[in-house]
Amino acid sequence: MEAIAAAKSGDAEEARKKLQDAAEELSKAHHYQTELIQNEAGGEKTEMTLLMVHAQDHLMNAMTVKDMAAEIIELYEKITEQRGASI
């Protein structure tokens, strides 16, 4: 959301930096999620709590929002280009 706000205010460089930061943090979370899945596939049981389900839901939503943010930022850039100004 910070990346979208930066693009909306005309700061494409900051928007791209925020997207990159988000990608790095999401990569860490996804790695941990994958580790849990692989451990369970290998026979190690993970207690499925409401907190675990909630965390999974947040990760999935965060990944989706990051992807959507990239598209929105691209749209802001194209609109700005068409107007003849720099974003």
**Which residue in the list 30, 31, 54, 58 is annotated as catalytic?**
54
- 8's CB contacts (< 8 A; 6+ apart) are 76
Measured distance CA(75)–CA(78) in Å, rounded: 5
Cβ neighbours, 10 Å, residue 74? 13
Residue 31 annotated among the catalytic residues of the structure = no
Instruction: Provide the annotated active-site residues.
Output: 54
